[in-house]
Chain A
Amino acid sequence: MTVVFRVPIHGSLPLLLGLSIVYLFALLALGLLVSSRARTQMEAIQIAQMFLLPSIMLSGYIFPLSSLPGPCAVFAQVLPATHFIAIVARHHHPRRHLPATSGTTWRRCWRSPLVLVAGSTRAFQQDHYVEKSAPSA
């Protein structure tokens, strides 16, 4: 099956779209976590940059994960892009595509977004958020 750019997709398209929702949720949760921790907009932009470049360099998009040194490989597992690139790569493989009924796939995918949402919720619970949003005297 081909959808766009005539690139064949060998895995399940509904599964790919469903996992895309999880990836988008993880990215949005990461953005919310960053912006809830930062005190100013500029600080939030700079913290977001700290995730943007590693998402390109360390996620397996340019360099293979197996060539990364130890700490970088550990940090790469934190990035949502690492897992999504692996998912998309397997969807395009003629024989190694993900089984649509694999519960392990779904459980692994939900771990990262849930941790990020929990971090954002914790930031909102702390006084830090109230102090930040209160007008200064």
Chain B
Amino acid sequence: MVTPASPVAVVLGKLLPYLALAFVQLLFILFS
């Protein structure tokens, strides 16, 4: 790895922001 972060932290750091965005989009679709 070329980063001091652990592989799990890299994966979760990529996934969780997109998860928040996806959930906000879902709420827009359901309730708007």
Taking beta carbons and an 8 Å cutoff, which residues of A are in contact with B?
3-4, 17, 20-21, 24-25, 27-29, 32, 117, 120-122, 124-125, 129-130, 133-134
Contact = CB atoms under 8 A, between A and B. Distances in A.
Nearest to A117: B11
B1 A28 contact: no
Given A121-B7, A130-B1, A28 B22 contact: yes
Interface of B: 1-2, 7-8, 10-12, 14-15, 18-19, 22-23, 26-27, 29-31
B14 to A, nearest CB: 6
A124 B11 contact: yes
Interface of B is mostly: helix
Given A24-B23, A28-B18, A124 B1 contact: yes
Contacts of B31: 3-4
A104 B22 CA distance: 25
Nearest to B25: A24
Given A3-B31, A28-B15, A28-B18, A20 B7 contact: no
Nearest to B18: A28
B15 A29 contact: yes
A121 B1 contact: no
B19 to A, nearest CB: 6
A12 to B, nearest CB: 14
Contacts of B30: 3-4
Contact of A117 (B15, B26, B27, B29): B15
Nearest to B10: A124
